[in-house]
Chains A and B, each alone.
Chain A
C-alpha cells in the first residue's frame, strides 16, 4: 500500500513539476475558459433571474471543454520519449499511475475553477440563493466525476489513431448523467427554487461507481493489445 501511495505522490509531483515549469497546459486552459465565458456572456444576454437559471449549464459546459483540453495533454506528454511504454514494462502498479494522473488533473482543474469563479460571478451578476457549502460539494464532486472519467477515457483515446479528436466523442456520452446532475444541482442552489440534495446524491453515486470501474479497468486499457 505504501508503495502505491509513494508512487502516486511521485506521479503527482512529477506532473505538477512539469506543469509548473512549462505552464503551457494551464495557460491555454485558462485563456480558453476565459474565451468561453466571454462568448457565452454575449451570446446569452440574460437578465439576473435568467442568468441564475442559465449559469449552471454555462459553467459546467465551459469546465467540460477545458477539462478535455487538459486531459489530452496530460497523456500526450507521456507518449513522448516512450514514457508510457516504459511504465507498462515497469513493475509499478498501473493504479498508482492512474490515481496520480487523476489527482494532478483534479488539482489543475480545481485551480482553474477557483480562478474562473469570480469571472462568472462578475459577467453574469451571480449570487447564490442556496447554501454555499452545497455549491462547494457540487463543485468537488462534479470536478472529480469529470476528471476521473476524463483521465480514464483519455488513456483510451490516446491509443486510437485520431488521439485528441476521440476523447470528447467517448467522454461526453458517458458523462451525460454526471453533467445533468451537476447542472441541475447548481441550478437548484443558485435559484433556490428546488432542493439539490437528490442531484448531489446521484452525482456522488456516479463518482463512486465510475471511480471503481475506472480503477478496475485501467490496467486493461493500459495494456490493451
Chain B
C-alpha cells in the first residue's frame, strides 16, 4: 500500500464504521420479540465472519510458509491469527451479552458457541507457542501447529454436533428455508457493518503486519509508514466512541446493547494500544542500533 493512500484509507474506514454503527442503531428496524438488544447482532455477526476469514488467511499463509519459508508469509500468518483472536474475543463477549437478556443465560454448550470457543482457544495457544518458542524455530513450530489446528476445527465441529443434541443458537439467517429471511433494512445494516469491520480488520492487519515486518527486519521505511497509522487508527477508534453514543439519552434498558458496543471498542482500542506500544519499543530499539 502506498503511504500516500493511507490517510484516505483511514478516512474511508472511519466513515464506514460510523455509517455502519449509525445504520445498526437507527437505520435498521427494531426486532419485534427481542427489542433493541437484537442490535448487538450488527456487531456480533460481522465480527464472527471477519474472525473466520482471518483464521482462513492464517491457514493459507501457514501453508505458504511451510512450502516456501518466506518470512512475509510468516508475518501474514501471525498477523491473521492475532487480529482474528481479537475479533473472535469480541464475538465471544458480545454473544453472552446478547444471550443474557434474550435466553436468560450467559452461556450454553451449543454447537456454534462451543466451536467458536475452541477455535479461540486453538489460536490463543498458537500465539502462546509463538511467544515462548526460540526465535530460530518459532515460525516453523507455529506453522506446524497452525496446520494441525486447521485440520482440528472441522473435527471439533463434527464432534460437538454429535455430542450436543440441542442447539440454541439462531439458525443462519441466509439459509434456504423461507422462515430464515432477514428484513431488507436489517440485511443492509448487517452488510454495511460487515464491510466496515472488514475494512477495519484490513487496516489493523496492515498496521500489525508492518510492525511484524519491522521487527523481522528493522527498516526506516516501515517505521515512517507505521508511525503515521498508529495515531490515525487510535484517533479513529476514539471518534467512533462518540459516534457510538446517539443523540438521545441511552435508555437504561439498553444497557446490554451499549455494553456490547462499548466492549467491542474497548477491545479494539486496547489491541491497538498494545501494537502501538510494541511499535514504540521497536522504534526505540531501532534508534539505539
Per-residue CB proximity of A161-177 to B under 8 Å, as 1/0? 11001100110111011
Per-residue CB proximity of B131-161 to A under 8 Å, as 1/0? 0111011001100110111011001101110
Chain A residues with a Cβ closer than 8 Å to the other chain, count: 32
Q: Give the interface segment out of A23-31, A84-92, A197-205.
A: A197-205
Partner of B152, one of A161, A162, A174, A217: A174
| Residue pair A156, B145 in contact (C-beta under 8 Å) | yes
Partner of B163, one of A174, A180, A206: A180
For B144, the chain A residues whose CB sits under 8 A away are 156, 217, 220-221, 224
| Residue pair A159, B133 in contact (C-beta under 8 Å) | yes
Question: In whole angstroms, what is the CA distance A213 to B134 when docked?
Answer: 23
Within 8 A of A (CB), among B157-185: 158-160, 162-163
A contact patch SS: helix
CB distance from A64 to the nearest CB of B (A): 15
CB distance from A193 to the nearest CB of B (A): 12
Chain B residues with a Cβ closer than 8 Å to the other chain, count: 28
Partner of A181, one of B134, B140, B152, B159: B159
Closest chain B residue to A205, Cβ basis? B155
For A180, the chain B residues whose CB sits under 8 A away are 159-160, 163
B contact patch SS: helix
**Does A53 reach chain B (CB closer than 8 Å)?**
no
Given that A174-B148, A209-B151, A225-B137 are contacting pairs, would A202 and B125 also be in contact in the complex, using a CB cutoff of 8 Å? no
Within 8 A of A (CB), among B199-251: none
| Residue pair B134, A177 in contact (C-beta under 8 Å) | no
Question: In whole angstroms, what is the CA distance A184 to B164 when docked?
Answer: 10
| Residue pair A174, B149 in contact (C-beta under 8 Å) | yes
**Does A5 reach chain B (CB closer than 8 Å)?**
no
CB distance from B112 to the nearest CB of A (A): 15
List 11 additional contacts besides A173-B125, A202-B155; criterion CB under 8 Å: A160-B134, A166-B128, A169-B128, A173-B152, A174-B122, A180-B160, A198-B162, A202-B158, A206-B159, A224-B140, A224-B141
A-contacting residues of B (Cβ < 8 Å)? 66, 118, 121-122, 125, 128-129, 132-134, 136-137, 140-141, 144-145, 147-149, 151-152, 155-156, 158-160, 162-163
